[in-house]
Structure 1
Amino acid sequence: MVKPVIAERGGAAAGDDARNGERAASVRWALAGLSLCVLLPSLGISVANVALPTLADAFGAPFQDVQWIVLSYLLAITSLIVGAGRLGDLAGRRRLLLGGIALFTLASALCGAAPTLWLLVAARAAQGVGAAVMMALAMALVAGTVPASRVGGAMGLLGTMSAVGTALGPSLGGGLIAGFGWRAIFLAGLPLGLLAFALARRHLPADRREDRDGTTGGTADGTARGRAGFDGLGTLLLALTLAAYALAMTMGRGAFGPLTLALLLAAACGAGLFLRVEANAASPLIRPAMLRDPALGRGLAANALVSTVMMATLVVGPFHLSHALGLDTGPAGLALSAGPLAAALAGVPAGRLTDRFGARRMTVAGLAGMAAGTVLLSGLPAALGAALGVAGYLAPLVVVTIGYALFQTANNTAVMTGVRPDQRGLTSGLLNLARNLGLVTGASAMGAVFAAAAGDVATAGAEAVASGTRATFAVAAGLIAAALAVTVAGRRARPGQTADGA
């Protein structure tokens, strides 16, 4: 009578192993779908930038008009990403992500078929709406998809795919335009979008009621709180405020003319009005208590500061390589790919280090690496820089980029693992917003620092450009020091967490 029992237990164990194997495979495919949801929006930015000269010729339009192909996409992402995250928390993140992928894919087809410039701009804006949903919810869905012990690795994978999209865009766009024309850079997103939709639909776990912020409960002050709703007015005010700020930074490009000042004033007024509306809203987009969470606030602040510094590498790099080091366009472009390539290679190892040593500890380590790289770039004498050549610039730049990959993975993990399940979409949106605001601010502010130190870049000599580079990275080193101070000051863990974020 013992043998059948043993056989039955063995069969049950085999069945459990098979189910565990199926779950592990489903998690891997789900991560593949989420990775595409990060890759496609990154490609959407970088692949279009390289096509602007071709599009200007194709439509016979000036650059001031053609740049809206990029601006409309970026504005849609920046202004809507927080609202998209919040809507995912309320309506279901998986459901909304599928809608965002479908919109992005359909808009890609419309971009490829657009007969006029302004229809292309409109289609790009729609593509940006889909990209905002994908970026906000991909990271939010990680915590509910993978085991807690592997969240850091999954965040590192998403960071890798973002870097791959940034690095791959220029070369992929150039090849597609040369071989098939400009429409191919948008139509290439169709098969990837369809694949992302299929993987997400098949393998992402279903939305759970307990993960939604729609239950009845009490507030911190003891008053009753009914079923949560979507804050349409707050979302609109925030979108308009962010759009005004992004336009001021991108169109002004560091020059504070009347239009830039008017947009900044509008953004400041919009921010004040938004805070007032949120304080009185029954179901605010962003709860005041959430903003008072020191761990979240410090994570967002550090994210914005670090992203400002990373934009400095993109603003200064082309000028330093071509004017100070004398590289032609081709070699300079190849050298610039070293940064995104380093970030892509460092993403997955950064996730594993975060899982092993803790998010807080690795956040500080990443910032320390960035500080070392920026100090080297700011203190490199002109004579030594000329003697070392391209390697003297790229080596510390790679250190900065690897530090950024480690920081981004660890900081995102620390923030996302410390929030309630029903706020993951909103928190992911806030993290992405902080990053985007840092990028648009860096493009303007760090570009202004470089121009002030180097003078007129068109006529500046090698020494003047090298001086501008050193000044820009001296400011960048100060920003990293501020981010490091903010992070170290916030090492106190949330209740229930260890000091390193485990």
Structure 2
Amino acid sequence: MHPHSDSRPAVRRALAALSLSVLLSSLGTSIANVGLPTLAQAFGASFQEVQWIVLAYLLAITTLIVGAGRLGDILGRRRLLLGGILLFTVASVLCGAAPTLWLLIAARAAQGLGAAVMMALTMAFVGETVPKAKTGSAMGLLGTMSAVGTALGPSLGGVLISGFGWRAIFLVNAPLGILTLLLAHRHLPVDRRGPTAGRAGFDHVGTLLLALTLAAYALAVTLGRGAFGALNGALLVAAACGAGLFVRAQARAASPLIRLRTLRDPRLSGGLATSALVSTVMMSTLVVGPFYLSRTLGLQEALVGLVLSVGPLVAALAGVPAGRIADRFGAPRMTIAGLAAMAAGSAVLSAMPARLGVAGYVAPMVVITAGYAVFQTANNTAVMADVLPDRRGVVSGLLNLSRNLGLVTGASVMGAVFALASATTDVSTARPEAVATGMRVTFAVAAVLIVMALALAMRVRARGSATDEYAFAR
């Protein structure tokens, strides 16, 4: 991966540390979901209460990921990443040892903070460890590990709970965390600046305002399980006010968390917007899939799980080849190719008759997921390509944030579209024909969102080409 053969093993070991960091943080999201029924029983709690085990982790990541990225730019990325991995590992042990539900939720929030640091800084490290010509391949590897973590979570969690009890789903992270910490400590490049360099440059007010704004938005779209009430409305208003205050604070700050002028760069703003739209659509596959497969096609739970694992499996297999293709043909071109595949797959699924059964669902889903793997790798590569070294952490944090916001929005918005199209208040008891209609309408909406993302990506590419030609002419 490096022009000098003697440094090739070092690059690979550094990538192994980064890959394990991504695997752990994505595994932390997906492994807890499967344990919620068991945890509700163990603590004698309601579903709404145990839902906070998942929510606390996601909220910590969503609210703190941009601040974590910026802090890495200032204090040193290696130093902060080692601290994040250590925090994640210790918090995992505390989760496994928690005597009460609320202590478990608090430990999950700490685990989420560690995951925010890991997610924000892994992509930022690619620019320091991998030659620019191989950036796409490295991004593809990280995308693969994220998909593997997501796919592995439910099945591994199920095996651990049935064999060792619920505590094992958290304790399994401890040996993996120690291995990741040792690899990162040994093989990641040393920070070029001391820990005190630029410490005054951290924007505390902006970080706090952004965290509160994002927390309000995430709670607005997740609380109530699809029912939108007065509390959701109040939280959305609070998020809008917070966003206004944040923009004002950034305009006045001497060393802002996010330089607003950088968002005027069409490559960055376009990359973030398309990432959010695509993640919204990908969440709809997780919202709609289980109900369509069980209610309309009549599959048993084990078969539903098997069919749903096809998507993450395709993403895992496509990640590294997608990275190599992005390096070969250019990230902007492959971003558009990935989106075109997603739009085609969504459009086919929206017209799919139920009589074609599992094959009729899986074939378009393979196209959507392979397109997603190509898009995500190429988009991440394009956005990170020309970022200055001292801003890599914050831009990596913004990319992860756009994906997370898309996922939480998708769970709420696409879930509401599905419920409305199914014409029922409880999808779990809806008639098979109603669920099939809901699935088709939801993927029609998904296709429209992907076409919007495609138009945006084509516009960004056209503007980028015009800028490059102007610079060449000069």
TM-score bracket, shorter-length normalisation: over 0.9
Q: Tell me if the contact between 1:89 and 1:213 (Cα under 8 Å) persists in the aligned partners.
A: no
| Distance of aligned partners of 1:497 and 1:194 in 2 relative to their CA distance in 1, 3 Å threshold | farther
Alignment of 1:66-465 (within 5 A): 66-209=50-193, 229-380=201-352, 382=353, 385-386=354-355, 388-456=356-424, 457-465=427-435
The residue number in structure 1 matching 2:459 is 489
Amino acid at match of 1:490: V
User: CA–CA distance in 1 between the matches of 2:337 and 2:69?
Assistant: 29
| Distance of aligned partners of 1:137 and 1:495 in 2 relative to their CA distance in 1, 3 Å threshold | farther
Q: Deviations over 1:419-476 (max 9, x none)?
A: 1111100000000000000000000000000000102224422211111001000100
| Distance of aligned partners of 1:89 and 1:497 in 2 relative to their CA distance in 1, 3 Å threshold | farther
How far the C-alpha of 1:379 sits from its partner, in A, is: 1.6
Q: Tell me if the contact between 2:136 and 2:378 (Cα under 8 Å) persists in the aligned partners.
A: yes
Q: Deviations over 1:467-496 (max 9, x none)?
A: 100100010001000000110000133899
Amino acid at match of 1:485: A
User: CA–CA distance in 2 between the matches of 1:328 and 1:302?
Assistant: 35
How far the C-alpha of 1:332 sits from its partner, in A, is: 0.7
Alignment of 1:8-87 (within 5 A): 20-87=4-71
Amino acid at match of 1:473: F
Please state whether the residue corresponding to 1:327 is helix, strand or coil: coil
Q: Tell me if the contact between 2:16 and 2:183 (Cα under 8 Å) persists in the aligned partners.
A: yes
TM-score by length of 1: 0.90
User: CA–CA distance in 2 between the matches of 1:125 and 1:422?
Assistant: 28
Please state whether the residue corresponding to 2:201 is helix, strand or coil: coil
User: CA–CA distance in 1 between the matches of 2:291 and 2:455?
Assistant: 31
Task: After superposing the two structures, state which structure 1 stretch, 60-69 or 167-176, moved more.
Answer: 60-69
Name structure 1 gaps, 5 residues minimum. 1-18, 216-226
User: CA–CA distance in 1 between the matches of 2:191 and 2:125?
Assistant: 10
Amino acid at match of 1:124: R
Q: Tell me if the contact between 1:296 and 1:415 (Cα under 8 Å) persists in the aligned partners.
A: yes
User: CA–CA distance in 1 between the matches of 2:266 and 2:130?
Assistant: 26
TM-score by length of 2: 0.95
Q: Tell me if the contact between 1:156 and 1:409 (Cα under 8 Å) persists in the aligned partners.
A: yes
| Distance of aligned partners of 1:365 and 1:421 in 2 relative to their CA distance in 1, 3 Å threshold | same
User: CA–CA distance in 1 between the matches of 2:83 and 2:468?
Assistant: 35
Amino acid at match of 2:229: G
The residue number in structure 2 matching 1:468 is 438
User: CA–CA distance in 1 between the matches of 2:331 and 2:136?
Assistant: 8
Please state whether the residue corresponding to 2:223 is helix, strand or coil: helix
Please state whether the residue corresponding to 2:257 is helix, strand or coil: coil
Answer yes or no: is 1:477 the counterpart of 2:447.
Answer: yes
Name structure 2 gaps, 5 residues minimum. none
Amino acid at match of 2:430: A
How far the C-alpha of 1:338 sits from its partner, in A, is: 0.4
Please state whether the residue corresponding to 1:419 is helix, strand or coil: coil
User: CA–CA distance in 2 between the matches of 1:151 and 1:408?
Assistant: 13
How far the C-alpha of 1:293 sits from its partner, in A, is: 1.3
How far the C-alpha of 1:213 sits from its partner, in A, is: 12
How far the C-alpha of 1:418 sits from its partner, in A, is: 1.8
Work out the percentage of aligned pairs sharing the same amino acid.
71
User: CA–CA distance in 1 between the matches of 2:224 and 2:46?
Assistant: 17
Q: Tell me if the contact between 1:72 and 1:121 (Cα under 8 Å) persists in the aligned partners.
A: yes
Q: Tell me if the contact between 2:295 and 2:428 (Cα under 8 Å) persists in the aligned partners.
A: no
Q: Tell me if the contact between 1:347 and 1:405 (Cα under 8 Å) persists in the aligned partners.
A: yes
User: CA–CA distance in 2 between the matches of 1:65 and 1:253?
Assistant: 12
The residue number in structure 2 matching 1:11 is none
Amino acid at match of 1:138: T
User: CA–CA distance in 2 between the matches of 1:197 and 1:63?
Assistant: 34
| Distance of aligned partners of 1:88 and 1:204 in 2 relative to their CA distance in 1, 3 Å threshold | same
User: CA–CA distance in 2 between the matches of 1:88 and 1:250?
Assistant: 29
User: CA–CA distance in 2 between the matches of 1:256 and 1:229?
Assistant: 40
Please state whether the residue corresponding to 2:130 is helix, strand or coil: coil
User: CA–CA distance in 2 between the matches of 1:404 and 1:156?
Assistant: 11
Q: Deviations over 1:6-38 (max 9, x none)?
A: xxxxxxxxxxxxx94441101001000000110
Q: Deviations over 1:391-418 (max 9, x none)?
A: 1001101100000000000000000012
Q: Which has the larger radius of gyration?
A: 1
How far the C-alpha of 1:344 sits from its partner, in A, is: 0.4
Q: Deviations over 1:146-183 (max 9, x none)?
A: 11111100000000000000000000000011111111
| Distance of aligned partners of 1:496 and 1:29 in 2 relative to their CA distance in 1, 3 Å threshold | farther
| Distance of aligned partners of 1:356 and 1:73 in 2 relative to their CA distance in 1, 3 Å threshold | same
The residue number in structure 2 matching 1:223 is none
How far the C-alpha of 1:214 sits from its partner, in A, is: 6.1
The residue number in structure 2 matching 1:7 is none
